[in-house]
Every structure is written in structure tokens, then in C-alpha cells.
Amino acid sequence: MNWTWFPEYFPMLIQGLWLTIQLLVLSMVFGMMLAIPVGLVQVTGPKWLSAIARAYCTVMRGTPLLVQLWLLYFGLGSVFAAYPEIRQSMFWPILREGYFYAVLSFTLNTGGYSGEIMRGGFLSVPKGELEAARAFGMSPWTVLRRVWLPRAIRNVLPTLAGETVLLLKSTPLAATVTVLDIFGVILRVRQNTYLTYEPLFAAAILYVGLTFLITYAFGHVERQIPSRR
């Protein structure tokens, strides 16, 4: 075991760790913003809208994330690059980066998976509670904000924790589109030092640590919620 590279690459690893956390948090936040409507319209929306949401979930859950990422990065990226209007626009510095496509594809992907979770969550809220809220004269929007959504999220919190861990384990794919997250840094270390295992073990340890952190954080949130179980 040769760990002499570690002190030299430590600052880079910390930056990679920070980038991984960014990828995870951004994708999860945007993904949830997508998942809530996707789940909701499948439970209560008009037929055509719920059909679209269902199709969306099927496509996202039926194709590998790496294909989605490469489709966006190489496919959409090359389409963007073909238009001079886009290349000269102010958004080009963002649209050029692998980081953008990584966040986009992770968001769309986790939106599909979490959308399915949220559908189950919305269904799991007892009808009586929604009827009670309506009987208080709440508008549909208020019912959603005060009763339906909080109760749904509460019910699926453990499943969402699992989904977050799965998303964390998908973030290293960003390294394939030039993002220097933990895995990207590790791949660079391997290239520079010709070491086979040591960098990979370091990556494994970091990801296991992050997994435990996520599990702990969600457990902490769950304990805040009073329940009579």
C-alpha cells in the first residue's frame, strides 16, 4: 500500500468532495421540485397530464443514467455547439461545462424516481385528513401546502433517504463528463501516480462516509417528527 500521494492531493480531494456534495444537493433539490408535481398529477391531475408524468417516470427509470448523461452531454451538447447564436450567448460558459449536464441529468433522473416515490406518498395520506382540511374551508392549494404535501413527505422520508443514497452513488458518473468530483480527482490521481488500488480505496472510504452521513441526517430529521408509532 502506497499512500505517499495522499498529502499532495489532499486539497484537490477536498475540492472534489465539495463538488460531489454540490452535485448531490443541487440535483436532489431540483429533483424534488420536479418530483412533487410529477407525483401529484399522477394522483389527482387530468388524464393527459398524468399520462405524461407516467411516461416520464417510465423513461427515466427504464434507461441507464449513464446513457441519459451522455445523451445530454454529447448529444445535446453537440446540438448546442452547432448554433452560433448559442455559442455567443452569455449562457455558453455554463452550457459548455460537464457540470451543467451532470446536474441536469441527475435532476431529471432523480425526478423520475422520486416522482414515483411521491406518488406513493400522496396516495398514503388518509382521505379523512384531506376531507377535514377541505371542511375547514381550505382552498385546494392550502390543503396541499398545509396537509397533503407535509404528510406525504413524512410518510416517504425513509424511501427518500434511500433515493438520496442511490443518487450519491450515481454522482461519480459525472467524472465521465470531465467534472472533477471525488471520483474525477481519484481518476486523475490514478493517471498521475500509476497506482491501481489505493486511490480507489480512498474513494470507497469517502463514499461510505458520505452514505453514513446521509443516513444519519435523514434519521435525525425523522426523529424530529412526532409519531405515535
Q: Is 123 in the site for other proteins (CB under 8 A)?
A: no
Comparison of 68 and 160: residue with beta carbon closer to other proteins:
68
How near is the Cβ of 138 to other proteins at its closest, in Å? 28
Comparison of 45 and 162: residue with beta carbon closer to other proteins:
162
How near is the Cβ of 9 to other proteins at its closest, in Å? 16
**Alpha-carbon separation of residue 75 from 39, 70, 86, 106, 129 (angstroms):** 28, 7, 15, 16, 47
Q: Is 83 in the site for other proteins (CB under 8 A)?
A: no
Q: Is 158 in the site for other proteins (CB under 8 A)?
A: no
Per CB under 8 A, the segment of 37-45, 94-102, 150-158, 169-177 that binds other proteins is: 169-177
For residue 205, how far is the Cα from the chain centroid? 21
Residue choice 14, 29, 51, 79 for contact with other proteins (CB under 8 A): 79
CA pair distance 169, 14, nearest whole angstrom: 18
Q: What is the DSSP string of 163-213?
A: HHHHHHHHGGGGGGGT--SHHHHHHHHHHHH--SSHHHHHHHHHHHHHHHH
Calculate ∠ Cα 158-153-138, nearest 5°: 160
Residue tagged 416515490 (cell numbers): 117
CA pair distance 41, 172, nearest whole angstrom: 32
C-alpha cell at 145: 401546502
How near is the Cβ of 178 to other proteins at its closest, in Å? 14
Residue choice 39, 115, 121, 172 for contact with other proteins (CB under 8 A): 172
Nearest to 145 by CA among 133, 156, 127, 157: 133
Task: Write out the binding residues for other proteins, residues 190-229 only, by CB under 8 A.
Answer: 196-197, 200-201, 203-204, 207-208, 211-212
Q: Is 3 in the site for other proteins (CB under 8 A)?
A: no
Task: Write out the binding residues for other proteins, residues 13-72 only, by CB under 8 A.
Answer: 58-59, 61-68, 70-71
Calculate ∠ Cα 8-12-14, nearest 5°: 115
- Side chain identity at 181, as an amino acid letter? D
How near is the Cβ of 93 to other proteins at its closest, in Å? 21
Site residues (vs other proteins, CB under 8 A): 58-59, 61-68, 70-71, 74-79, 165, 168-173, 176, 183, 186, 196-197, 200-201, 203-204, 207-208, 211-212
